[in-house]
Structures are given as structure tokens and as C-alpha cells.
Amino acid sequence: MAVKDPIYLNRDGAVGTIHLNRPDKRNALNGAMWQRLATLIAEADADPQIKVIVITGEGQAFAAGADIDEFNAVFTDPSAAETTAAITYQAQKALHRNLKPTIAKIRGACVGGGCGIALCCDLRFADTSAKLGITPGKLGLIYSLSDTKRLVDLVGPAKAKDILYTGRILGAEEALSIGLIDRLVAPEALDETVNAFAAEICAASQFSARGTKRITQMILDGADDDTAETRALFVEAFSGADFKEGFTAFGEKRKPKFTA
């Protein structure tokens, strides 16, 4: 894996970090990067050693949005716009619907497609340099339904309209106050904060984490009561290896050692 790759996956113990790696372009996203993102998400999901996936940008930005160099093709060729939309949709769906817990680690600009990636993650941790925005209102574009739903699910319809109508850029404090990010720390503390939280997830039951992610997504998709499927998930967990270890550890007053 070459450090020149514009996007790559690095493994460190049980944490897999996907790096957006075009710092000279503030990690602007082109079509090849979107395609590679979907591949790397599938690779991380399939790796039994990886329990948590972190996405971050190299340099002073998370991702400043779409690569402007590709816009001319989109302007002049409707089929290029359709292709771009399809590639972006598939990559974001792969991230949003992946199996494992995900954290966006955000420094600097997190705008447009960069913010779209962050919205697809389970949690967003940022430092005080972060600036977040989604700018269709400044470009005469319309945000897709799937992207808009993720924003509405996080901040509510009124705040989502505020962001999308104006295309304005939010500072880190405002982003925290409306729920667009989940943790805000000083720049020098961001790596340590993300690492410590990822370690907490890794030490807990991965069976529980993935089941929780699945159930939560069902709720976001509109489920409002148990079904035979969700009841079975709940009941069958009591006969699982993780519950046996967790229950035994509780009785023995020790930390559980989950094997999955």
C-alpha cells in the first residue's frame, strides 16, 4: 500500500482506518476515490480482525467536497452526472449499511461529499478546527433523498433545511450544539479521544454492537415495533457465547473477554 494512494485502509490492531489522502487538494473526492471507498468498506467488513472502522482525512481537512476538476464533464454530459450520482450513492450506501461501528474523525473542512461521508458514519468526532457544510443551495443543486434523510435523522427537519437552503458553513461549536457532530475536543486531543473510544468498543461485545447497529437502522428505516425477526434477535442472544461470557464475568467481578 503506497502512501501516494488517494484513499487507503490501514490496520492497527482491531481498528481499521480509511484515510482520504489528497492533502494538496484538501482531500477533494473524485470518482475513483468514491469507487475505492466502497471497496475498502467491504474489505474492512470482511476482515475478522477489524472491529471498528475510522474514516479521516490527511493534512488539514477531512474532505472539502467534490473534485472541481471533474465538474466540467458533469456540466457538459448528462450521462456523466448520472454516473457520478450512481458511484457516490453506492459508496455512501456501502458505508452507511456496513456491519461494523464507524467513526468519522474530522479536522478542518468537512464539506459537501466530505460531510456526506461523515453523515454515513455512526459517530462523528471533531476538533475545534472543523467546519461542516452541505452546499447545494450555493450551486443550484438538489441533495439526494438518501443524503437528506441522513441529515434530517441527525439534526431534525428544520435544522436540515437551514443547512441546505443556505449552504452555509457551520463552525464546530454550532455543529456540536445541533447534533451534527458527537464529540468536540481540542486539536491535540482528537487522535487520543478517537483511539480511546474505539478501544472501548473493541473491548465490548461485537455481537452486541453489530446487533445494536442493525436494530437502530431498522428504526431509522421506519420500524416502530418488534417483529418475529427482532424478537428472535433478542431471545437468541441469551444462548450466545457473548452472553455466557458477559454473565460469567459479571458474577466473577471481572472484565469480560469476548472472543468475536
Which of 201, 226, 242 is where one domain is finished?
Answer: 201
- Neighbour order of strands in the sheet with 109-111: 109-111, 131-133, 170-171
Query: What average pLDDT does this structure show over 62-74?
Result: 80
Domain count, the chain: 2
Q: Which domain holds residue 224?
A: 205-251
Cα 33 from Cα 134, distance rounded (Å): 19
Q: Kindly report, residue by residue over 15-49, the tens digit of the pLDDT.
A: 999 999 999 999 999 999 999 999 999 999 999 99
215 shares its domain with 88: no
Residues shown for the chain:
260
Which of 201, 223, 242 is where one domain is finished?
Answer: 201
Contact of 63 with 92, CB cutoff 8 Å = no
Average pLDDT over the chain, rounded to an integer: 94
Q: Kindly report, residue by residue over 146-179, the tens digit of the pLDDT.
A: 999 999 999 999 999 999 999 999 999 999 999 9
220 shares its domain with 119: no
Please determine, for residue 237, whether its predicted confidence score (pLDDT) is greater than 80.
yes
Position 178 in a domain: yes
- The C-alpha cell at 129 is 478546527
226 shares its domain with 101: no
* Reported pTM: 0.94
Position 171 in a domain: yes
Cα 203 from Cα 136, distance rounded (Å): 40
139 shares its domain with 17: yes
Cα 119 from Cα 91, distance rounded (Å): 13
CATH number at residue 247: 1.10.12.10
